[in-house]
Amino acid sequence: MEEKQKSLSPPPCPSTVTVRRNPSRRARATPYTTATKPPFSSLASAITHDVPTFPIDEILSIQIPQSEPKQSIPESLKIFLRIKPLRSFTKVTTTKARPRNVWPQNLSKKNIAKENRNPEITKKVKKKDEEACITLNDPYSVTLTPPQSLQELKRSKTEVYEGFSHVFPADCSQNDVYDKMVQPLLEDFMKGKSGMLAALGPSGSGKTHTVFGTLKDPGIVPITLHRIFKKSDESSSGPLRLFNLSIFEICSERGKGEKAYDLLGGESSELSVQQSTIRGLKEVPIQNLEEAESLIGQAMLKRATATTNSNSQSSRSQCIINIRASCNGFSNETKMQSSDAMLTIVDLAGAEREKRTGNQGERLVESNFINNTSMVFGQCLRLTRYLRDYLEGKKRMALILTVKAGEEDYLDTSYLLRQASPYMKIKFDNTEEPCNKRQLKTFPRAEKNKKIKLSAPKTSQGKKADPADRSSPRLEPVSHDKNEREHIIMRNFSKVLWNVLKQYNEKLKVAEGEICTLKDSLRREQLKSLVLETELSSLKSSCLAEPCIPEVEAFVHAKENFEVAASMTNVVRNVDDDSCNLIKARKEAGAEESSESPVPYVVRNVDNDSCNLIKARREAGAEESSESPVLRNVDDDSCNLIKARREAGAEESSESPVPRNVDDDSCNLIKARKEAGAEESSESPVPYVVRNVDFDSCNLIKARREASAEVSSESPMPSKNVKDAELVRCHLSSQNDAEPRQSVNSEENVGIPSATTHVEAEVTDFPRDQAIQNQDDPTPSPEQVEVGQDFINSQISNVQTKSAVSRRFPDSEKKERNRRLLPVSSRSLTEEMNDLNIKENQIEKPQVKTAKTCVQKKAESIQGQEIAVPAREAEPASTKKQRNGQKPKRFTQIENLCSCDRRLQPASSVLLTREINTLEIEDDIAEPKGTRGGKKTTVSQPRSQGSVTLLHLLTNNLHL
Residue 858, C-beta contacts closer than 8 angstroms, at least 6 positions apart? 567, 594, 595, 597, 623, 624, 625, 626, 652, 653, 679, 680, 681, 682, 711
* Identity of the residue, 205 or 668, whose beta carbon is nearer to ligand ATP in the bound complex: 205
Residue of the chain from 165, 203, 735, 789 that contacts ligand ATP (CB under 6 A): 203
Residue 894, C-beta contacts closer than 8 angstroms, at least 6 positions apart? 691, 702, 703, 704, 705, 722, 785, 789
213 binds ligand ATP per the rule CB under 6 A: no
Would the annotation count 393 as a binding residue? Answer: no
Contact segment (CB under 6 A) with ligand ATP among 42-50, 146-154, 313-321, 758-766 equals 313-321
Q: What single DSSP character describes residue 717? A: P
Task: For the CB of residue 180, give the shortest distance to ligand ATP in the complex, in Å.
Answer: 15
SS3 track for 26-95? HCCCCHHHHCCCCCHHHHHHHHHHHCCCCCHHHHHHCCCCCCCCCCHHHHHEEEEEEEECCCCEEEEECC
Which DSSP helix (H) or strand (E) runs through 468? Answer: helix 467-545
- Read off the amino acid at residue 825: S
Would the annotation count 202 as a binding residue? Answer: yes
* Identity of the residue, 206 or 687, whose beta carbon is nearer to ligand ATP in the bound complex: 206
Would the annotation count 626 as a binding residue? Answer: no
122 binds ligand ATP per the rule CB under 6 A: no
Residues 770, 704 contacting (CB under 8 angstroms): no
317 binds ligand ATP per the rule CB under 6 A: no
Contact segment (CB under 6 A) with ligand ATP among 197-205, 251-259, 603-611, 933-941 equals 197-205
222 binds ligand ATP per the rule CB under 6 A: no
219 binds ligand ATP per the rule CB under 6 A: no
Residues 616, 576 contacting (CB under 8 angstroms): yes
Would the annotation count 208 as a binding residue? Answer: yes
Task: For the CB of residue 214, give the shortest distance to ligand ATP in the complex, in Å.
Answer: 7
Residue of the chain from 78, 157, 180, 207 that contacts ligand ATP (CB under 6 A): 207
* Identity of the residue, 310 or 734, whose beta carbon is nearer to ligand ATP in the bound complex: 310
Beta strand 669-678 with 601-609 is: antiparallel
Applying the rule CB under 6 A, the residues between 333 and 352 that interact with ligand ATP are 349-350
Contact segment (CB under 6 A) with ligand ATP among 131-139, 141-149, 207-215, 787-795 equals 207-215
363 binds ligand ATP per the rule CB under 6 A: no
372 binds ligand ATP per the rule CB under 6 A: no
Task: For the CB of residue 367, give the shortest distance to ligand ATP in the complex, in Å.
Answer: 10
Q: Report how far residue 283's alpha carbon sits from residue 243's, in angstroms, rounded to the nearest whole number.
A: 9
Q: Cα dihedral sign for 26, 28, 32, 38?
A: positive
Provide φ and ψ at 567, rounded to 5°: -75, -40
Task: For the CB of residue 231, give the shortest distance to ligand ATP in the complex, in Å.
Answer: 26
373 binds ligand ATP per the rule CB under 6 A: no
Contact segment (CB under 6 A) with ligand ATP among 3-11, 186-194, 202-210, 766-774 equals 202-210
* Identity of the residue, 206 or 778, whose beta carbon is nearer to ligand ATP in the bound complex: 206
Q: Report how far residue 303's alpha carbon sits from residue 280's, in angstroms, rounded to the nearest whole number.
A: 18
Task: For the CB of residue 420, give the shortest distance to ligand ATP in the complex, in Å.
Answer: 15
206 binds ligand ATP per the rule CB under 6 A: yes
Q: What single DSSP character describes residue 595? A: -
Residues 650, 723 contacting (CB under 8 angstroms): no
Contact segment (CB under 6 A) with ligand ATP among 139-147, 201-209, 774-782, 790-798 equals 201-209
* Identity of the residue, 208 or 784, whose beta carbon is nearer to ligand ATP in the bound complex: 208
353 binds ligand ATP per the rule CB under 6 A: no
Letters for 150-189 (x = contact with ligand ATP by CB under 6 A, - = none) are ----------------------------------------
Task: For the CB of residue 264, give the shortest distance to ligand ATP in the complex, in Å.
Answer: 20
Residue of the chain from 165, 224, 252, 315 that contacts ligand ATP (CB under 6 A): 315
Residues 613, 542 contacting (CB under 8 angstroms): yes
Task: For the CB of residue 339, give the shortest distance to ligand ATP in the complex, in Å.
Answer: 33
CB atoms within 10 A of CB 136: 17
In the Cβ-directed half-sphere of 739, how many Cα atoms lie within 13 Å?
24
Would the annotation count 849 as a binding residue? Answer: no
Q: Report how far residue 241's alpha carbon sits from residue 323's, in angstroms, rounded to the nearest whole number.
A: 12
Task: For the CB of residue 167, give the shortest distance to ligand ATP in the complex, in Å.
Answer: 14
Beta bridge partners of residue 618, listed in sequence order: 631, 674
Residues 788, 871 contacting (CB under 8 angstroms): yes
Task: For the CB of residue 183, give the shortest distance to ligand ATP in the complex, in Å.
Answer: 19
Q: Report how far residue 881's alpha carbon sits from residue 873's, in angstroms, rounded to the nearest whole number.
A: 15
Which DSSP helix (H) or strand (E) runs through 127? Answer: strand 124-128
Contact segment (CB under 6 A) with ligand ATP among 118-126, 199-207, 377-385, 926-934 equals 199-207
Residues 646, 672 contacting (CB under 8 angstroms): no
Helix axes 220-234, 289-302, angle to 10 degrees: 160
Beta bridge partners of residue 619, listed in sequence order: 675
Contact segment (CB under 6 A) with ligand ATP among 96-104, 135-143, 204-212, 264-272 equals 204-212
* Identity of the residue, 376 or 698, whose beta carbon is nearer to ligand ATP in the bound complex: 376
Q: Report how far residue 161's alpha carbon sits from residue 428's, in angstroms, rounded to the nearest whole number.
A: 7
Contact segment (CB under 6 A) with ligand ATP among 283-291, 308-316, 671-679, 891-899 equals 308-316
Residue 847, C-beta contacts closer than 8 angstroms, at least 6 positions apart? 596, 598, 599, 735, 736, 755
Contact segment (CB under 6 A) with ligand ATP among 71-79, 91-99, 306-314, 392-400 equals 306-314
205 binds ligand ATP per the rule CB under 6 A: yes
Contact segment (CB under 6 A) with ligand ATP among 198-206, 420-428, 462-470, 732-740 equals 198-206
Would the annotation count 513 as a binding residue? Answer: no
* Identity of the residue, 318 or 569, whose beta carbon is nearer to ligand ATP in the bound complex: 318
Would the annotation count 559 as a binding residue? Answer: no
Task: For the CB of residue 313, give the shortest distance to ligand ATP in the complex, in Å.
Answer: 6
Size of the site for ligand ATP (CB under 6 A): 17
Provide φ and ψ at 643, rounded to 5°: -120, 130
Contact segment (CB under 6 A) with ligand ATP among 206-214, 251-259, 488-496, 822-830 equals 206-214
204 binds ligand ATP per the rule CB under 6 A: yes
Task: For the CB of residue 261, give the shortest distance to ligand ATP in the complex, in Å.
Answer: 17
* Identity of the residue, 206 or 457, whose beta carbon is nearer to ligand ATP in the bound complex: 206
Task: For the CB of residue 176, give the shortest distance to ligand ATP in the complex, in Å.
Answer: 11
**CA-based angle 634:640:646, to the nearest 5?**
20
- From start to end of 679-736, where are the E strands? 688-689, 691-696, 699-707, 719-720
Residues 661, 646 contacting (CB under 8 angstroms): yes
Residue of the chain from 209, 758, 814, 827 that contacts ligand ATP (CB under 6 A): 209
DSSP states of 806-854: GGGS-HHHHHHHHHHHHHHHHHHHHHHHHHHHHHHHHHTHHHHHHHHHH
Would the annotation count 946 as a binding residue? Answer: no
Q: Report how far residue 371's alpha carbon sits from residue 516's, in angstroms, rounded to the nearest whole number.
A: 93
Residue of the chain from 141, 314, 712, 735 that contacts ligand ATP (CB under 6 A): 314
Applying the rule CB under 6 A, the residues between 53 and 92 that interact with ligand ATP are 84-85
Task: For the CB of residue 397, give the shortest distance to ligand ATP in the complex, in Å.
Answer: 19
Q: Which residues carry a binding-site annotation? A: 201-208
Q: Which residues carry a binding-site annotation for ATP? A: 201-208
| Site residues (vs ligand ATP, CB under 6 A) | 84-85, 201, 203-209, 310-311, 313-315, 349-350
